Each structure stands twice: as C-alpha cells, then as structure tokens.
Structure 1
Amino acid sequence: MNIVLLDALTLGDSDLSVFDGLGKLTVYQTTSSEETSERLAGQQVLITNKVVITAEHMANHPELKLICISATGTNNVDLVAAEKAGIEVKNVSGYSTESVSQSTFSLLFQLIHQSRYYDQYIAEKQWCDSPIFTHIERPFYELKGKRWGIIAMGTIGQRVAELAGAFGCDVCYYSTSGKNTQQSIPQVSLEVLLSECDVISIHAPFNAQTENLIGAEQLKQLKAGAVIMNLGRGGIIDEAAMAEALETQDIYHATDVLAVEPMLANHPYLSLKASHRLVVTPHTAWASVEARECLIGKIVDNINSFVDSQ
C-alpha cells in the first residue's frame, strides 16, 4: 500500500515511524497546489492537513482509496466528490482538548500578568537600577471571582470551563448553534456574555453562524478591562474592528488564529500602538507534543480500520 503525506511540516518534528508497518510512506514537507496532482500518482492513501484535494484530483487518480485529514476540519477536501468516487475520507477529533485548553490559560496569563513587559524590564537590566526590591508598574489581576464567558461549549469549551472553575471563576456560556445546553453551566445571550464577562474565550468552529460573530458593535459592548481570546478559528472576530478597538477601548485580546494564515505582512495587529493589549501566537494552541502524538496515532487507527474493512 502506497501512502503519501503531503504537508509533514505542519506536524513539526513528530515521529512518523509509526507508519512504517502500514505500507510505503512518501513524505513531503510542503506541497503547493501545482504539485499536488503529480504527488498523488500511484498512491492509495493520502494524508493531508491543509493541502486542498479537489474533485479533479480524485478523477485523475482513481487508485486513491482513502484520504486521511490530519485535523478535525474537512473543508480542504471535496467531500461530495469523494463520496461519488468511492473514496473514504477520515478526519481526527478529540486529540487537542488539553493542548488548546492549556494554551487558553497561557495566553490569558500573558495579558493579565503583563509578562512581556516584566520580562523586558529584566532583560533591559532596569531592575538592577531600582531603588526598591520590587517593581509593579503594570497592575495584574487574580482570576478568582471574575466572570468567564465561553463562546461554544464543545469538548474544549467544557474543559476550559472546568479549569476556570478551579480558579474560582463564575462561568457562563453562549451557544453559537443554539442547540448545545449544559445544565450545570448557565447559558446566556451573546449580549449578556460580552457586556458582563471579565474574560471571554472563543472555542467555536468557523461557519455561517460564527463568521464575523464579533464585530465593531459587539466589541463596544465589552466592559472595561475585559480580555477576549480566540482559540477557535480565524474569521470569527473582525480583525480590523479589533485593531481599532484595542487602540480606543480599555480591552485586551489574545488570538491563536487569524482569518488569513500565515499572517499577512500588512496585518493591522502588527502596527498597533497599544501592543501591550495584544498577544498573537501562530496557530500553535493545538500542537503540544502530546497532542501531535495523539493525532498521528489516530491517523494510524483510521488507516488500519480502513484496511480491516476491505
């Protein structure tokens, strides 16, 4: 069985030897749209993270039998075409819950503790010249007693709620689908969540219900000092509106995702004057060592289950 991995770079330095017993594995670190078709030739199993697989690719390569998506989202594969061609498509879910939840708090603490400022204060040897033993120029805050609003109460949202509760936060949530009900946690409207919560974390997928869910009008509803974080998908927050709000309002923002990735060189976040109000990470929240090991293990399971079903 021939297996091709088109974008191994998205998995970092993960150990790929687990695929050795499954067949002949060909690995490409990255694959452009122009290279995709050629690299599918003679392959029965395809592993892709973000490389787009079209109906044309499938039609040109009838030997392809299984597409493994090394992620939860399936929008990079034409699922209708795959079904018509008899190609099975398997994605992976539930591998990054702990990683994303932990990253949520990592981003939050960078903002509410102003860690970057204090690190720079030390690096510039300013503490060496201090007349006293401490330096508390930037105030920081405790989580206990704060109201934490979660947008989308899926598996990750529920884990974040559990952790926030352990810190003594009063947790509520807004369901983007309108279908999710968690009896132990109060459900509120988006307006209430935005206007009353000190900390807001987004863990929603990108779809028609969440596109530009947080725009200029919604940002105006945030209370002074509020922190809003996006650990879901880019496009949920209007980034131009957020950049404007960070310059004009007393709010803070952390995000691991952007509408266009990689980040554009002229992105408004890169020219903020109020840069101390913003933390951006390059879509890493999902990618702890443990999460990537789990992801690869689940891909192997998907391939084995496919082979067993034949």
Structure 2
Amino acid sequence: MKTVILDAFTANPGDLNWDAINQLCDLSIYPRTAPQEVLERSLDAEALLTNKVIISDELMTQLPNLKYIGVLATGTNVVDLEAAAKLGITVTNIPAYSTPFVAQHTIALILNIFNKVSQHSQSAKDGAWANCQDFSYTHGTLNELQGKTLGIIGLGSIGKNVATIAQAFGMKVVALKSARPAKDSISRLPFEDFFSQCDIISLHCPLSPESQEIISSKSLNLMKKSAVLINTGRGPLINENDLAEALNSGVIAAAGLDVLSSEPPTPDNPLLSAKNCFITPHIAWAAQECRERLIQIAADNIKAFLNRDSINKVN
C-alpha cells in the first residue's frame, strides 16, 4: 500500500525510525508539508498519515486511490470525518499513547510554579547567588503541595493519573461535577464551589461546545487570589484575554500552560507577556517513549486495516 507521511518531524525528529510502518507499506516520508504541497505529494497515495496537515473534503475528492487516513495523534479535527466516511475512507487515530507523560508534565508545571524552579535557576545563572551575602535566598514565598486542593476538570485516563500523583504528594483531589455518574471516590463539586475552593485547577477535558472557554472571567473571578491554573489539555478551553488580564491584575497567582489557542502562537498572544505565566511549546505528548508508542500503534492500525479489520477507527 503506497503510504505518505505528510508531517513526520514532530513525531520523529530523527531519534526514532519508521521501520514498523515501512515493513508494511511502500512508504514516503516528508518532515513537513505546506498547504500548497499536500495535493501533489498525496496524488498516488492509498494511505496518508498526518499529525497536523489538514485533510479536507476538497482534497480527498481529488485522491481516487485514497483508502486510509491515519492521524498520528489523538485529536482528529484535522480530517473531515464525515466526508471521509462518504468516500469510504477509513480514518484512525492514536489514543492514550501519551497519558503517563501528560500527567508527568502537568505535575512538572505545578512544581515549577510552587518551587519557583525556573526563576531561581535563572537568577543563579545571572549571578544573584554568587553575589548573595547569605548561603540561600528565595524569590518570594515557596509553598508545599501537601494539604492543597487540586481540582481536575476531566477525569479521564490523564486526569486520573494526575489525581494519583497529586494524592501521593498529600493533596486533596476534587473534580468539577458533570452529568456523568462518578465511578470513583473523588468528590465532585458544582461550578461555583469547585472554582472557589481549589488551590490548583488542572484542565484535562476534551474540547467541546460545553467546555470551550470554561476558563473565562466568570470562572477566574471565583478563584482564590493564590490559585494556580494548569492547562495540558486544549488551548481553547481558556479565554486567553481573560486569563492574561487575571494574571496581570492579580486575580489569580499563576498559570502553567502547554497549549494555546493557536499553535504556534501569534507574537501578540497576550499570555506570552502575562505576569507569572509559564508556557511550554506543546511538549506534554513528546517524550521519547510516547513517540515510540505512537509509531507502533500507527503500525498496528495499518496492519489491522490491511487485514480487513479495524482498530482505533474514528469514522
């Protein structure tokens, strides 16, 4: 099966290989593909693999040989699923490949804020420690996690992993109440109680019309002035102008973000210059082990398709 990977670089910048897929397919690999290059590179393909390259209805109708699209990620918004189904094209994704590292990165963002790791490291490199009269100094107050309340929005596999780690730190864990019945012992709180009681709020819910901009001036103004917001979920869960204003005016204390509404962000994104806002460039999925799993699951998806079976089919 003639297969084209349109944007291979983020999943494998050179430290891994594509052997698991190459053994199954006649494989062509492109590190990146610009919008104007997609059609030409896809013309003869029976299968396309994409992470962020858009596969539209218009494109698919121009690819008579196309039978299969493998999304090299969990989210499938880059593919017109309805159009693919009408054209008889199977679409698969890669679920749950990065759960441990997303949880790990969530805790890393929390620890960076509470221990002020990045600030102290930079100040020491800048000479502040060498010029200090004392053996130790701090940039502001440091706080323990033990005894703090972590509020989780979205208790799926990632949210539950975060909860387990947080409990090991001695934190109390609660979740935002939803329509789904609880299947664990974690307390669910209604909207106002949740936002007003939590010391840290971490976002792990899918993006939907109901969850879009769940973090806005309405919810931010309910939070403690000492509260911290963490987002390793989806950028549009947050109204970025409202969060920037809340950080700059001291409505909440800090934020740790791995995702933004537009990626890469525009230079004028207000969060890039907001006070006490710590941003990483969407790396919570990118551990080597996660990317190895991603490639193997992608190969398993293709193998199942070739055997007239289907796993991780989304349309």
TM range (shorter): over 0.9
Tell me the equivalent position of 2:7: 7
Tell me the equivalent position of 2:58: 56
Q: 2:30 aligns with which of 21, 28, 31?
A: 28
SS at match of 1:279: strand
SS at match of 2:49: strand
Report 1:119-198 matches (<5 A): 119-175=121-177, 178-179=179-180, 181-198=182-199
Q: For structure 2, which runs of at least 5 residues remain unmatched after alignment?
A: 310-315
- Are 2:229 and 1:234 equivalent residues in the alignment? no
Are the counterparts in 1 of residues 213 and 239 from structure 2 also a CA contact under 8 Å?
Answer: yes
Structure 1 vs Structure 2 CA RMSD: 1.3
- Identify which range, 300-309 or 242-251, moves more after superposition: 242-251
Q: For structure 1, which runs of at least 5 residues remain unmatched after alignment?
A: none
Q: 1:44 aligns with which of 43, 46, 56?
A: 46
Equivalent residues, number: 306
CA 1:284–1:175 in structure 2 vs 1: closer, same or farther (change >3 Å)? farther
Are the counterparts in 2 of residues 152 and 202 from structure 1 also a CA contact under 8 Å?
Answer: yes
- Identify which range, 135-144 or 2-11, moves more after superposition: 135-144
Taking the aligned partners of 1:218 and 1:257, their CA distance within structure 2 comes to 19
Are the counterparts in 2 of residues 111 and 278 from structure 1 also a CA contact under 8 Å?
Answer: no
SS at match of 1:309: coil
Taking the aligned partners of 1:182 and 1:38, their CA distance within structure 2 comes to 49
Taking the aligned partners of 1:168 and 1:268, their CA distance within structure 2 comes to 34
Give deviations 1:205-230, integer Å, cap 9, x for gaps: 11101111110121111112111101
Tell me the equivalent position of 1:248: 249
1:180 positional shift: 5.0
CA 1:175–1:6 in structure 2 vs 1: closer, same or farther (change >3 Å)? farther
Which of structure 1's runs of 4+ aligned residues deviate more than 6 A? none
1:6 positional shift: 0.3
1:290 positional shift: 0.6
- Are 2:308 and 1:309 equivalent residues in the alignment? yes
SS at match of 2:37: helix
1:140 positional shift: 1.1
Are the counterparts in 2 of residues 153 and 175 from structure 1 also a CA contact under 8 Å?
Answer: no
Letter of the structure 1 residue corresponding to residue 97 of structure 2: Y
Report 1:73-84 matches (<5 A): 73-84=75-86
Letter of the structure 2 residue corresponding to residue 147 of structure 1: T
Taking the aligned partners of 1:10 and 1:175, their CA distance within structure 2 comes to 35
- Identify which range, 198-207 or 10-19, moves more after superposition: 10-19
1:10 positional shift: 2.0
Give the TM-score taking structure 1 as reference length.
Answer: 0.95
Are the counterparts in 1 of residues 116 and 139 from structure 2 also a CA contact under 8 Å?
Answer: no
Taking the aligned partners of 1:38 and 1:175, their CA distance within structure 2 comes to 48
Are the counterparts in 1 of residues 147 and 172 from structure 2 also a CA contact under 8 Å?
Answer: yes
Give deviations 1:274-304, integer Å, cap 9, x for gaps: 2xx1100111111111111101110000000
Taking the aligned partners of 1:6 and 1:202, their CA distance within structure 2 comes to 30
Q: 1:108 aligns with which of 101, 107, 110?
A: 110
Taking the aligned partners of 2:139 and 2:29, their CA distance within structure 1 comes to 51
Q: Percent identity?
A: 38
SS at match of 1:10: coil
Tell me the equivalent position of 2:312: none
